[in-house]
Structure 1
């Protein structure tokens, strides 16, 4: 069985698309997903399955639509992919440290895409970078570093230029998901 992380787009944001995480876990367990866990209310789901990513994306999307009446994009990564995203951050410790000093809120984020954007759309999006808003696209993952804030940033507001659905998570959330993966692995090895 593979450990997966499903990231839902637009769940429990600004009072919209409300889903109680206990109900979501129960709903997904009905699909045959194992060891379903959630982190905070924004649709971060860790689970185990023997199915492939594409099928999981589809059945989770349909189950949420059926049970909650919400059509949310579902982006999935394996536990190993999450670890690689964390270990391959394109920003130096110095860049992150400098951004943290001036940023209002979290400075480092990753936008997760179900498929890689085209070169044309990537170039369009990257044209919004500046010395205060940095981005690196690595396949289906878009690293974002803000020296001010993701709110009202040109990069944050133009992710749609990639023309691929995206859901963004801050680094703190990624680190928590990574530690949850380690807990699951540890329990399996006992």
Structure 2
């Protein structure tokens, strides 16, 4: 009986280590290479405290009726969640999923594009010499902070669901890190 408890304890420790290392190694060199090929620039993403990557997806330009692309706008979607559940099904002909998606609430969504971006009716804030546009909306039980900034070859847009576990200060800290690592 004592040996069974020891083996069970070792087994649980191995599972804990495997789960911890999984979140640190999601963005592999292969995923980084595919992102760079897709949007033409390298993307650096910081770790976000208690949030885990939930979804990494490459969005392709829409196609016309002949199956030809309309324009050249490519987008990478990166989603962070506070809880990771079972792997979910996601099927979209105009995209390629590199990681996930997993069940769980998306708390932070990052959109990186090879096109410049601007938020309508937004305010501006300067971070490390970069102009960041932002807008904050509160409606019913939702509190959302959107931010966007342009880089040489494209743009970053981030949407934060401020629900209590993620604060506005946390969101701005994340924006600050993204700006510093990608300007």
Query: Normalized against structure 2, the TM-score is what?
Result: 0.33
Between structures 1 and 2, the one with greater strand share: 2
Between structures 1 and 2, the one with greater helix share: 1
Query: Normalized against structure 1, the TM-score is what?
Result: 0.32
Q: Computing the radius of gyration over CA atoms, which structure comes out larger, 1 or 2? A: 2
Which gives a bigger RCO, structure 1 or 2 (Cα 8 Å, sep 6+)? Answer: 1
